[in-house]
Every structure is written in C-alpha cells, then in structure tokens.
C-alpha cells in the first residue's frame, strides 16, 4: 500500500492519495511496480531504462535510469552499490523488540528531505518507508506479504509498449 499525504499550499492540511499493487526488485537496478488501485499503471526498470506506463491514457514515458532523473543516493541503492552511512546521517527513532525505526537524512543535496525505514527487529527486513519531500509531502509505502530470494525472471523487467500506445522518450539531461 502506498499513501501520499500532500501538503496544501498556504494551509495546514492537504489530502491523501492511496494506491496498492505489487512490487518486485532485483539487483542491479531492476524493479517492477504494478499498481492496481485506484487505477492500473506500471513502472518498470531493466537497470538502464525506466518505463512509466498509463494504460488508460495509452501512453508510456521512457527515460534513462541515471542521476538526471533520480538522486545520486537513489541510483546507488537501486544499483545495489549504496552504503547507508556514506549517503545519510542516520538517527534511531525507535529500537524495540519487534520494530526498529531509522530516520535517514541525505548528506548531499537531494530531491527529498528525509527517509524513514521501519524494519522488523528480528530479521532486519524493511516493512515500511516514509519519504518526506522538500515541500513536506509524505509518501508512505507499506510492504505486506514480502517474499525474498524468489529469483524473478528477466522478462519481468522488460517493457514492450502495446500497439496503439504513444511512447514519449525523454532524452538524457545535459
């Protein structure tokens, strides 16, 4: 489940958007986010390219995976090369028998203010993340029914635009 709480400009509150679906990760840099609710969409990366597909609009954005579109820290972790202590100031917010909560603040300029990780104390598996962006918006991703070491096939990380889909290729930033 993903919940984004948006801050309304000039007010103390905003509104929230919720979505749900499935996500698959594989190193290096491969991911597949398949959203089912409130509307179907798909985000796929093969480690070099990211595709963002909106089936209702019959449109896909295609962009290179790189620091031009994601922060350096995000790229490092997606590629399996990041080290938390190098990229973030780490502060423990909670250390209990069942749960550990860490706040990560980027050491370098980033497109977000902080990241909270909520992990199972026994296994160390991340169960929830909360990203606070530079405007104060909070995006919470809760991971349920987590399966690890499943060896997903490479076909899950490729995207072929269905016939009649408009493909928007975004050039690399210069």
Number of domains into which the chain is organized = 1
Which residues of the chain have a pLDDT value below 70?
8-14, 66-81, 172-174
Report yes or no on 23 lying in a domain: yes
- 71 found inside a domain: yes
User: Are the C-beta atoms of residues 16 and 6 closer than 8 Å to each other?
Assistant: yes
CATH of residue 29 = 2.50.20.10
State residue 73's pLDDT score. Answer: 58
Q: Tell me if 94 is assigned to some domain.
A: yes
Looking at the domain assignment, is residue 19 inside a domain? yes
* 32 located within any domain: yes
Closest C-alpha to 141, from 125, 157, 131, 128: 128
User: Domain residues for 66?
Assistant: 2-6+14-169
> Quick one: pLDDT at residue 99?
95
- Look at residue 174 and tell me if it is in a domain: no
Is residue 53 in some structural domain?
yes
Give the pTM.
Answer: 0.76
How much is the pLDDT for 172? 54
**Residues near 15 by Cβ (< 8 Å), separated by ≥ 6?**
5, 6, 8
Nearest to 32 by CA among 132, 118, 138, 152: 152
The 10s digit of each residue's pLDDT in 9-50 is 554 556 788 989 999 988 888 899 999 989 999 999 998 899
Asked if residue 108 is part of any domain, the answer here is: yes
């Amino acid at each position: 489940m993903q919940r984004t709480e948006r801050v309304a400009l000039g007010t103390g509150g905003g509104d929230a958007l919720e979505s749900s679906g499935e996500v698959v990760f594989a190193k290096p840099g491969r991911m597949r986010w398949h959203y089912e609710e409130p509307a179907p969409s798909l985000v796929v990366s093969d480690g070099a390219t990211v595709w963002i597909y909106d089936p209702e609009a019959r449109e896909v954005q295609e962009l290179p995976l790189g620091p031009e579109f994601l922060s350096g820290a995000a790229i490092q972790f997606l590629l399996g090369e990041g080290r938390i202590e190098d990229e973030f100031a780490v502060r423990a917010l909670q250390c209990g028998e069942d749960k550990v909560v860490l706040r990560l603040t980027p050491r370098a300029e980033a497109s977000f203010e902080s990241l909270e990780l909520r992990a199972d104390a026994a296994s160390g598996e991340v169960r929830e993340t909360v990203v606070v962006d530079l405007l104060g918006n909070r995006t919470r991703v809760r991971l349920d029914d987590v399966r690890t070491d499943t060896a997903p096939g490479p076909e899950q990380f490729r995207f072929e635009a269905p016939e009649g889909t408009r493909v928007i290729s975004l050039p690399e930033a210069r």
